[in-house]
Structure 1
Amino acid sequence: MPGFLLHTGAVMQCPHGIPAQIPPAQPRVLVGGLPVATMVTKITVLGCPFMLPGPKAQPCVTVKWLMPTTRVLVAGAPALVQPTPGPGPGLCLSPLPEQLPNGPPMVTAMQPRVFAT
């Protein structure tokens, strides 16, 4: 599915409103002066307060992206794309070993110029 390339400056948060960090996984391909995010990129969420009833907390700690590019590779890895601002095609996951899905991340700001499939 086509969409706009995500980069390290995209503003993303877990369903509970905590910002997600997209670290630069590769330094060579830039969009708007910032590195493009790829499937190798480990998107992290720090400080999510989500709790399930029971003895163990299940906060969002990582984001698993489910919509990579099919035709565009960056350093051999598919780039991450987002069709429009709003819920992202991914899942916020709780810590290992369970990695329970807590819902989709919300992308509120991203670059609007580079579109890929």
Structure 2
Amino acid sequence: MTSLLHRGATILCPHGGQAQPGSSSTRVQLGGQPAVTVAHMMTISGCPFTSGTNPMPCTQVQWTTPAARVTIEGSPALLSSSGGICIGAAGPAGPPQVVASQIRVTGQ
């Protein structure tokens, strides 16, 4: 079992940009912060990736493997082990990394 993600989790793209959900659960809180599901779009800011001199930052996370057994408000929850891909102007860039999240609530 791994930790469920909440709005305050630290999630990075392969280049160090930080992902944040645009919205989150209105009813479920984890450690005092709203829970995040696959339905909550995550945008990435601060990605320094360039191709030559052209900035091509990662802009969003597309989650591919959310929780199989835990849903929140009808959508699969995101786990610290959930798989995904960071996407930007250059296309798919690699998986997001969950660096820190709450540790009290776990799921599969």
TM-score normalised to structure 1 length: 0.80
Q: How many residues align?
A: 108
Aligned to 1:15: 14
Amino acid at match of 1:37: V
> After the TM superposition, which residues 31-110 of structure 1 pair with which residues of structure 2 at under 5 Å, given as runs?
31-53=30-52, 57-83=55-81, 89-95=83-89, 100-110=91-101
Q: Could you tell me whether the CA contact under 8 Å between 1:7 and 1:22 is conserved in 2?
A: no
Structure 1 portions without partners, runs of 5+: none
- Shift in Å at residue 47 of structure 1? 3.2
Distance in 2, matches of 1:47 and 1:17, equals 7
Q: Counterpart of 2:28 in structure 1: which amino acid?
A: V
Letter in 1 for 2:102: Q
1:6 aligns with 2:5: yes
Q: Does 56-65 or 70-79 show the bigger shift?
A: 56-65
CA RMSD in angstroms comes to 2.0
Q: Alignment identity in percent?
A: 41
Which letter maps to 2:10?
V
- Between structures 1 and 2, the one with greater strand share: 2
Q: Are 1:26 and 2:25 matched, yes or no?
A: yes
Which consecutive segments of 4 or more residues in structure 1 shift more than 3 A? Answer: none
Letter of the 1:93 partner, please give it. I
The letter of the residue matching 1:49 is: P
Q: Is the 8 A contact 1:8 1:37 kept in 2?
A: yes
